[in-house]
Structure 1
């Protein structure tokens, strides 16, 4: 925010937000003439504010302390890795003035800002997400106003303060990056959604729904519930290692963390053993019931805060699991008994709990995967562990998701990785399948308006034969 803004300056949510947006517009005016090099310095400034070791650690410590989600070391890794990856993706890329010229078509593209961006930040990633959004927004010479969750308020304040210190170094106005002042509440968040020029919402389904109904152009993202398929040809030890990494990183705060594994029957027992070797604990039927009751005390949609992004030992205690091995596990496995509202363990769990499904063959594995995603996580992501290229082709055609990762840890790869071609981000669209207009990983190009200049070129008019010849030859005139 402009950290000088105080609640006493205005008496209503609309006035508070109106003032922030006005300050953002004024800040944008001061950088309207920035050249590409200056813009990239802004992005570097924001990146360094959260990448620098002491800042990354302090922000991560406060995040765990305030929200109770995840663990410090993984959050430090996430901030530094995502920041470095995003900076690598966008540094030097054209985003100011003329960004492309196609002389043959007589087309010139000129990039311009979209305006003041409003970003609603989730409690599960209260430090990494605002930094990532600020980087890609400033890349387009936009200003951004962040709306944190109440539990992530102190984290967002630290992020903004760190960014302001770096913006001071490059002589840029602090109001390029602001946040909604405390107390954070729904009234201010919803006012922000309506007042800004472009809206980005990552977080609860309620906030996403309000964002989509705000009337503001938006990139609201869908919920995750990642499914990983393991076929009979997979390298099981490697697949188990990948799934464990994805399931346990930051105690599964990521929407890209594996929630279910659908395993072909012929390798099911061997795959479970491989997962156990990675620290997984397979619950028996009684333990599964106790775990489900602790996680969903009122059924689907009531995920308990006692388990969200918590250490596995704490989950074992919450579920009153008696086996000593359960209290030493890295993550828990439960065998799926069905899919849908009556089977909440088939949905997104945001915890170190993995639901296993046994499929007769690859065809049934695809059917189960589709059912799970239709229930929750439509359009978001899934993965396949295989050495069969025909299976890669088939799942790509049959499963309607925006991201399909082959032989990769989901939460490491879905939001971009140095060993795949996806751009780094913390906001991933689910396409029209998930009710989103965004079907890719959010990046700086989504924060640009493009003026397309068209000049006269040599006329090229097709003949009737060129356009209709094949049709007439087949069907007649």
Structure 2
């Protein structure tokens, strides 16, 4: 048995015959609905996507989903989830508006190529507890826009929220005369066995969440898109507007209690502005811990090398209480800061924290800051993105050409910008590909293109055979034949 088969067999172990039959029936309903849906035309596909979007954006339902998400998962805060559900969906609608996703989508007379958009079929959408409504909605809307059916495999904590979302979508589908079997979800209890079985039966897997789920998706034998690990760092150079940088970093670090993989885990500050930047961060609610307080926080946040659920996606005040740092748990404490110089497993603050805790590194200059980020990503987070606060645009291109990152976010609040925002040109998404650096097969923001097959029709054109010298003449002149 090879490695892939071993992983899949292990994940699928424990599924009963009854569970297998239930899943098979679920997929069969989905496939039948999809086969009719993909031929219904662009207007029907657009209607389905719009229905799913309004299901989460309508203010009353959005509020209910946001509050239930915090209540049932214990992660984040409802107001930020409310905002995320709306803005991420609105941005996705902007990206999809007017896009043709069925039939002929391009003709090139010069090459004789006609491109025809085709659905992929049944999509298995693996979604995390950190965004139990926004991420499923994003994947569902993209899939429907492209003529697919979707079966969501939510995290166990997020199952109830996803179930409520699917119910809202079905209510909108009823108004539009659409088949509810186009959007379904795994029944509770969701476990590794049922998720693995869904992956095997689907036509495409899109996996967001734990690296265990991503690895399982890639090992399923089904074509899959999965995301890399987060551990974002931002660099603050000596030319940065420190006040603006601090406000943006603070906004990103505290949004939804840092549930986003795009929230800064570390900030690397040029020595020339180090103390001034710490003062600006403090003015934004950052509280710098001393060595003793840092040790107590570390003991509270990690148990046997694993992040504690007692601190994950909680407010800074809650985390301070948990760590026995009651003196820090004030209304003015927005996020905690710890100074660090080491990187790696023996320095846990150098990794992803999923909490409003910011690790601070001091760098000699821009080059040293870039090297610190490179070392951080060699430990965790390669491929994702890096933030940069600077007045020198060329530094951004230097990072883009040398660091193992798929995105360089310049002078922006990182967690808002990375997944697309109304003031940058990145596509709206909650799933960021990390390229081969992050063991992913794509480096884009996951969007509708990943939910399409493209058939190319090739017509004959006038033959044109180039002269060899046109193609290799320069090589021959420099090195001979």
| TM-score, L = length of structure 2 | 0.95
**Aligned partners of 2:58 and 2:20: how far apart in 1?**
36
Matched, 1:400 2:384: no
**Aligned partners of 2:98 and 2:302: how far apart in 1?**
47
5+ residue gaps in structure 2? 1-15
Could you tell me which residue of structure 1 aligns to residue 178 of structure 2?
172
Q: Deviations over 1:44-90 (max 9, x none)?
A: 10000000000100011110000000011000000000000001100
Q: Deviations over 1:418-448 (max 9, x none)?
A: 1111000111111010000021100011110
**Aligned partners of 2:38 and 2:250: how far apart in 1?**
47
Could you tell me which residue of structure 1 aligns to residue 433 of structure 2?
429
Q: CA deviation at 1:229?
A: 0.3
Could you tell me which residue of structure 1 aligns to residue 133 of structure 2?
127
Could you tell me which residue of structure 2 aligns to residue 4 of structure 1?
none
Aligned ranges 1:68-79 → 2 under 5 Å? 68-79=74-85
Alpha carbons 1:143, 1:177 under 8 Å: kept:
yes
Could you tell me which residue of structure 2 aligns to residue 271 of structure 1?
277
Q: CA deviation at 1:33?
A: 2.2
Could you tell me which residue of structure 2 aligns to residue 476 of structure 1?
480
Could you tell me which residue of structure 2 aligns to residue 243 of structure 1?
249
Q: CA deviation at 1:13?
A: 3.2
| 1:303 corresponds to which of 299, 303, 307 | 307
Could you tell me which residue of structure 1 aligns to residue 6 of structure 2?
none
CA RMSD of aligned residues (A): 1.1
Q: Deviations over 1:376-427 (max 9, x none)?
A: 1111111100001231221121111011100011110110001111000111
Could you tell me which residue of structure 2 aligns to residue 320 of structure 1?
324
Could you tell me which residue of structure 2 aligns to residue 229 of structure 1?
235
| 1:31 corresponds to which of 33, 37, 40 | 37
Q: CA deviation at 1:324?
A: 4.3
| TM-score, L = length of structure 1 | 0.96
Could you tell me which residue of structure 2 aligns to residue 290 of structure 1?
296
Alpha carbons 1:281, 1:325 under 8 Å: kept:
no
For the residue of structure 1 that corresponds to 2:101, the secondary structure is coil
Alpha carbons 2:320, 2:329 under 8 Å: kept:
no
For the residue of structure 2 that corresponds to 1:40, the secondary structure is helix
Matched, 1:458 2:453: no
Q: CA deviation at 1:35?
A: 1.7
For the residue of structure 2 that corresponds to 1:320, the secondary structure is coil
Q: CA deviation at 1:32?
A: 2.9
**Aligned partners of 1:326 and 1:359: how far apart in 2?**
30
Could you tell me which residue of structure 2 aligns to residue 281 of structure 1?
287
Q: CA deviation at 1:327?
A: 6.3
**Aligned partners of 1:465 and 1:430: how far apart in 2?**
40
**Aligned partners of 1:327 and 1:307: how far apart in 2?**
18
5+ residue gaps in structure 1? 1-9
Alpha carbons 1:316, 1:327 under 8 Å: kept:
no
**Aligned partners of 1:326 and 1:461: how far apart in 2?**
74
Could you tell me which residue of structure 2 aligns to residue 388 of structure 1?
392
For the residue of structure 2 that corresponds to 1:149, the secondary structure is coil
For the residue of structure 2 that corresponds to 1:150, the secondary structure is coil
For the residue of structure 1 that corresponds to 2:246, the secondary structure is helix
| 1:379 corresponds to which of 380, 383, 387 | 383
| 1:199 corresponds to which of 172, 193, 205 | 205
**Aligned partners of 2:200 and 2:371: how far apart in 1?**
40
**Aligned partners of 2:43 and 2:369: how far apart in 1?**
50
Could you tell me which residue of structure 2 aligns to residue 108 of structure 1?
114
Aligned ranges 1:207-226 → 2 under 5 Å? 207-226=213-232
Could you tell me which residue of structure 1 aligns to residue 267 of structure 2?
261
Matched, 1:356 2:364: no
Q: CA deviation at 1:325?
A: 6.0
Alpha carbons 1:78, 1:128 under 8 Å: kept:
yes
For the residue of structure 2 that corresponds to 1:473, the secondary structure is helix
Q: CA deviation at 1:29?
A: 2.2
**Aligned partners of 2:312 and 2:83: how far apart in 1?**
20
Q: CA deviation at 1:297?
A: 2.2
**Aligned partners of 1:446 and 1:95: how far apart in 2?**
12
